[in-house]
Amino acid sequence: MRRVFIADAHLRNPDDENYQLLLRFLSELRGSTSTLFILGDLFEFWIGYREKAFPHYRPILDSLRELVESGVEIVYFEGNHDFHLGTFFSKTLQATIHPNHTVINLDGKKVFMCHGDQINAHDYGYRFLRFLLHNGATKRLFPLVPPALVFRIADLFSCHSKTYHQQRNSQWNYQALLEHFAESRFQNGCDAVVTAHFHLPLLSVAKDGKTLLSLGDWITQFTYGEFTDGEFSLHAYR
């Protein structure tokens, strides 16, 4: 069976087009997919709460639960919008959760996977923000914050993220960053790199088979990756 990779849906409202399309896409994975890899930022904001604090995510959570019940394994790489995921993912979905990057063996290939928000080593402002948000003190603090305040923080976080993303688009060459990073992983013995975060759909396969797969996003591009019969591919859902 195939493995499927998605990332950067930044889900907000169940009535949004990307939300509805993702629900349909996930329903089509049953019976044809062994593993769903979520490489971060599935949600616009999920930090340190049980699922009851996010009622607008109930449809997608139910869809993921139904996938698991059908036999699909979920592997979740935390992003910069969704981390400290909580027990729903680890217990109810029995998902494997990776707070950081890791190397996974897929049919004999060593595949380096990550959300990608740490790839740009020169983005010092973001790296400091990530340190503040991902540390243990923040993980313990967020469940104590009233949900109404969390939603307000989420709106501010979303607005800041969009503005910052636009600034970074003009400042950095994302494809060059990804290719340089992937080459360093290849030199360390990896056969492939699968990443997200940059909203750049890209599949690059060298003559020796070394593969870089950047997943794009599920906001306007609706792109996703597959691994079938030892080969990676990149697709658009519509």
User: Could you tell me the residue ranges of all domains in the chain?
Assistant: 2-99+120-167+216-236
- What's the rounded Cα separation, in Å, for the pair 98 and 77? 5
- What's the rounded Cα separation, in Å, for the pair 178 and 203? 11
- What's the rounded Cα separation, in Å, for the pair 10 and 45? 8
- Helix (H) or strand (E) segment spanning residue 159: helix 147-171
* Matching residue, tokens 């070394």: 210
Tokens representing 75 are 């592997």
- Helix (H) or strand (E) segment spanning residue 9: none
- So what's the pLDDT on residue 137? 66
| pTM across the whole model | 0.88
Q: What is the pLDDT along the chain (238 residues), one digit of tens a residue?
A: 899 999 999 999 999 999 999 999 999 999 999 999 999 999 988 877 666 678 899 999 999 999 999 999 999 999 988 888 878 898 889 999 999 999 999 999 999 999 998 887 667 566 656 656 666 666 676 666 666 666 666 666 666 566 555 556 666 789 999 999 999 999 999 999 999 999 999 999 999 999 999 999 999 999 999 999 999 999 999 7
- What's the rounded Cα separation, in Å, for the pair 4 and 32? 10
- So what's the pLDDT on residue 60? 96
